Amino acid sequence: MKTLDKYILGTFLYSLAMWLIVIMVLRVVLDVLLTMDEFTENIDYAPGQGIVIWEIIKFIFKYYYYHCFVYFAQFGGIVIVAATGFTIWQLSRTNELTAMLAAGVSLYRVAFPILFCAVFMCILVAVDREWAIPGIRSNLTRDPDEMSAKDYVEVNYVNDENNTVWYSRAFDPDNEKIQELVVEFRRGENFDYVCTVGAVTASPGTLDGRNAWVGRESYVLGRNWQRPWKTTEIPTNLVTPRFILEKVVGEPGMEYSEPGYPGFKIKIWAEKVIPERNDQGDITGARLTGPRFDLLVGDRRQIMVSVIASEATWDPGDRKKKNSRWKLKNGRVFIPSGMSPSELELRASGEYIQYCSSRELTKIHKHSASPDTVLFNKFRRIAEPFNNLIMLLIALPFLLSRERHILLSIGTVLLLVILFFAFVYIVPYLPIGSFLSAFLPALIVGPVAVLLLDSVKT
């Protein structure tokens, strides 16, 4: 690298750092002015004292520390263009650009260090998007008033990787506890309804080595079911003590179908069966130790829900009403799901997709109920670095022109960048598909920017 390249590169890096700081500070200050009251909502007041100013400063710093990574990704392209305009203006103001032209230096030679640094800046923005932001996204979904005391989060119809729909009015992320949970199971390409699980409370757990949510005071109800499963009882008119004793209860358990639960297979397993007999030796009841009831669906016998208890006792009920059941002790409902508490919080925030990496978007796309939205966000993530470079290519022909007034050129560039940004944000609303919505600005404006740059008189 020659001295001229080092000088131009140093000038550009100085401008880049200056504009990055200016834009970030302006963004933070404007946001603080609009949301200052939210930072003080959950501050503890000491008797006889005012608001603890250091507590507010701590929450503000913590909130904007994480959001600065998002601001860097959002304004990376604008910072590059602003730094380029300031660099060319500075070289022109000191007549250094005139001296370069008089010495026979090509304007492309002046632009090369700027383009090199701009490409590196775009790489940093991509790294920020793909690695930095996904790693801190749990802090990005919090509102200013939630930095000091985490409120309950409403889980408003969130889909997991199995297309299962989750709803809760109150999810406590700090204690990893869901209250008033309703889970609706679906499957197939048409998301056909399978069954519903409700629980007063639920917390993370494991089932057969897989992640699951454990519900207490719960019920399971399928379509056309005669009676629901509960954590206190499993209704059945088929699986009587005699039925169990005639089968082998143990690993891997036994499967059966029952008319009261159409469309499902039920698998029962118990550590031990203790029969109860009358004086004549007839079986009148039984007690199961460590029983487990699995609700299976599909040809692959996928476990939708499991009810596990420490003990189950047979209750024959009324023969006419056919309400026999197994009464459970310490019953719990296990809902298999790979969605962790932190991931549930993110998906419930409504901002989950924009904080995911491209790899995560690919996984989500396979199971999402709105795949077009996920696919568009993935394509836009790929197109973003190209859009940032295109903005620079649009600016360079006007800033490097021999016959120009530098301030007029900067004003022209500002107008063109605004129009380009407007075009980028309007295109997604057109019915042209996810790929074109993301790449159409680059496909149309990119060649025009290259032709303008080629027309520069060097």
CA distance 128 to 383: 15
Q: Is 302 domain-assigned?
A: yes
| Structural domain for 335, as ranges | 154-342
Q: Calculate mean pLDDT across residues 231-242.
A: 85
The number of folded domains in the chain is: 2
Last residue of a domain, one of 315, 342, 369: 342
Peptide bond into 252 cis (omega under 30): yes
pLDDT at 387: 92
Report pTM: 0.70
Task: Quick: pLDDT tens for 306-362.
Answer: 999 999 999 988 777 778 899 999 999 999 988 888 778 777 766 677 888 888 788
Same domain, 160 and 257: yes
User: 413 vs 350, which has greater pLDDT?
Assistant: 413
- With 70 as the cut, is the pLDDT of residue 369 above it? no
Same domain, 389 and 364: yes
CA distance 173 to 369: 24
Q: Is 273 domain-assigned?
A: yes
Taking all residues of the chain, what is their mean pLDDT, rounded to a whole number? 83
Task: Quick: pLDDT tens for 14-53.
Answer: 999 999 999 999 999 999 888 887 776 655 555 555 556 7
Task: Quick: pLDDT tens for 104-113.
Answer: 888 888 888 8
Phi, psi of 254 (to 5 degrees): -125, 145
CA distance 3 to 47: 65
Q: Of 156, 161, 121, give the one whose Cα is nearest residue 365.
A: 161
Structure tokens at 59: 């929450």
Last residue of a domain, one of 310, 342, 374: 342
CA distance 338 to 356: 16
CA distance 404 to 396: 12
Q: Is 435 domain-assigned?
A: yes
Same domain, 209 and 330: yes
pLDDT at 458: 63
Q: Is 149 domain-assigned?
A: no
Task: Quick: pLDDT tens for 180-192.
Answer: 999 998 877 677 7
Same domain, 283 and 416: no
CA distance 217 to 308: 12
CA distance 27 to 21: 10
Task: Quick: pLDDT tens for 269-317.
Answer: 888 888 888 777 777 788 889 999 998 887 667 788 999 999 999 998 8
pLDDT-based confidence at residue 444 (cuts at 50, 70, 90) = very high
pLDDT at 377: 86
Same domain, 137 and 203: no
Task: Quick: pLDDT tens for 112-141.
Answer: 889 999 999 999 999 999 999 988 877 787
Phi, psi of 171 (to 5 degrees): -115, 125
Last residue of a domain, one of 289, 307, 342: 342
Q: Is 217 domain-assigned?
A: yes
Same domain, 34 and 174: no
Non-local (6+) Cβ contacts of 105 within 8 A are 4
Look up residue 319 and give its DSSP letter: T
Same domain, 187 and 268: yes
Sign of the torsion angle spanned by Cα atoms 429, 430, 435, 440: negative
In 3-state terms, what secondary structure has residue 200?
strand
Same domain, 357 and 313: no
Q: Is 146 domain-assigned?
A: no
Same domain, 294 and 191: yes
Same domain, 163 and 125: no
CB 27 within 8 A of CB 75: yes
Same domain, 208 and 91: no
Q: Is 148 domain-assigned?
A: no
Percent of the chain topping pLDDT 70: 90
Phi, psi of 297 (to 5 degrees): -145, 150
Q: Is 244 domain-assigned?
A: yes
Same domain, 61 and 31: yes
CB 333 within 8 A of CB 342: no
